Amino acid sequence: MTMILDVALGMAEVAAVKRSGADMAVVAEVRKVDRDQRQTVGLPFVEAPRMICREVNVYYGDKHAIKNVSIDVGKNEVLAMIGPSGCGKSTFLRCLNRMNDTVAGCRVTGDILLDDLNIYDRKVDVVPLRARVGMVFQKPNPFPKSIFDNVAYGPKIHGLAASRAELQDIVESSLQKAGLWDEVSDRLDQPGTGLSGGQQQRLCIARAIAVRPEVILMDEPCSALDPIATATVEDLITELKAQYTIVIVTHNMQQAARVSQRTAYFHLGDLVEVGSTDRIFTNPRHQLTEDYITGRFG
């Protein structure tokens, strides 16, 4: 569906360019959108969004880190955010569960909706919000507690389990969903920090899904992992897509291509291009996107 819309929009775009008098005859040879042009090209909006972001600006003190970004995150899709380092991917991601609240001097304007809830509304409590929008960080950060306690912590503080047995069920199913159960089922009482890097990251994913979020944000979840662990986590992301909406930041373009359905390209705080992953990687419409994915800068 998204694909079709995207292609259609691509046509419309080309038509618009044509009408504006640019000299191009064939679609395949469409001239790229110029480097200086910073309006989002492509298809930032979807039909059935889970999250809606409109005109989001983020400032760190005087620094304008995210500039007027509008984008939707669709239900049960994996949205990849790519871009050179320092372009604001993490900053934007952290807006989606208000983790930026913890950063001194960080100011966010604009609207971000989770279903019908404007999460930056003054009345919104970040605690339940973060239960609905979970997060997995760049560096695996399990608590220095047992594997069981790591996963059980979220359900405990949110009161999701009425009994010990129920809590055990949640822990087991979360670890299973994270593909870690078989490896750790016999040592749940051992410290989570004793696991390997890849296992730790899957433990963090299990910890995030134990509170049954609707959206999972992942900030370069594989950048600290070896290729095998990376492959495992990528498979996991593909599986989780069925139940969750996932937004993943990555600087690894193959990874974005492998796991995501839509890709958003950020450049110096601007959202430059959004589109279906296939289209972005085969036929980027913005010159900056093309420069990036062809490795002209990184």
Partner 1 sequence: MNEEKSGQMNELGDMGAMAWVNAGLTARYRRERRFKFFGLAAIAASLMFLVLLLGAIAIKGYTAFRQTQILLDIHFAPAVFDVHNLASANYAALVRDATLSLFPQAMDRQDRRAAIKLVSIGAAYQLQEMVTRKPELIGATKPIWVLAAGEVDMFVKGHISRDVTENERRISDKQATWIDQLAASGRLRQTFNATFFQAGDSRESELAGIRGAVMGSFFTLAVTLAFSFPIGVAAAVYLEEFAPKNRWADLIEVNINNLAAVPSIVFGLLGLAVFLNCMNLPRSASLVGGLVLTLMTLPTIIIASRASLRSVPSSIREAALGIGASQMQTVVHHVLPLSMPGMMTGAIIGMARALGETAPLLMIGMVAFIVDVPRGFSDPATVLPVQIYLWANNPERAFVERTAAAIMVLLLLLLAINASAVLLRNKFERRW
Ligand X SMILES: Nc1ncnc2c1ncn2[C@@H]1O[C@H](COP(=O)(O)OP(=O)(O)O)[C@@H](O)[C@H]1O
Interacting residues with Mg ion (CB under 5 A): 90
Question: Least distance to partner 1 from the beta carbon of 211, Å?
Answer: 6
For residue 200, the one-letter residue type is Q
Residue 135: strand pairing partners: 217
Q: Is 155 in the site for ligand X (CB under 6 A)?
A: no
Asked if residue 198 lies in contact with residue 228, where contact means CB atoms within 8 angstroms, the answer is yes
- Between 210 and 257, name the residue whose CB sits nearer to partner 1: 210
Q: List own/partner pairs for 292-296 with CB under 8 A and 24 or more apart.
A: 292/82, 292/83, 292/84, 292/265, 292/267, 293/82, 293/253
Query: Who contacts 87 (Cβ-Cβ below 8 Å, separation ≥6)?
Result: 266, 267, 268, 269
- Between 145 and 251, name the residue whose CB sits nearer to partner 1: 145
Binding segment toward ligand X, per CB under 6 A, in 80-88, 170-178, 224-232, 237-245? 80-88
Residue 72: strand pairing partners: 52
- Between 150 and 250, name the residue whose CB sits nearer to Mg ion: 250
Neighbours of 255 (CB within 10 A): 22
Binding positions for ligand X, 88-107, rule CB under 6 A: 88-91, 103
Which partner in partner 1, Mg ion, ligand X, none is near 27 (CB below 5 to 8 A by kind)? Answer: none
**Rounded distance between C-alpha atoms, residue 57 and residue 111, angstroms:** 9
Q: Is 60 in the site for ligand X (CB under 6 A)?
A: yes
- Between 59 and 281, name the residue whose CB sits nearer to ligand X: 59
Binding segment toward ligand X, per CB under 6 A, in 41-49, 60-68, 155-163, 179-187? 60-68
Strand order in the sheet with 41-42: 41-42, 270-276, 262-267, 78-82, 245-249, 215-219, 133-136
Which partner in partner 1, Mg ion, ligand X, none is near 65 (CB below 5 to 8 A by kind)? Answer: ligand X
Which partner in Mg ion, ligand X, partner 1, none is near 280 (CB below 5 to 8 A by kind)? Answer: none
Which partner in Mg ion, partner 1, ligand X, none is near 60 (CB below 5 to 8 A by kind)? Answer: ligand X
Q: Residue 28 to residues 171, 187, 288: CA-CA distances in angstroms?
A: 51, 57, 18
Contacts to partner 1 by CB under 8 A = 97, 99, 102, 104, 126-131, 134-135, 137, 139, 141-144, 153-154, 157-158, 204, 207-208, 210-211
Contacts to ligand X by CB under 6 A = 60, 63, 65, 83, 85-91, 103
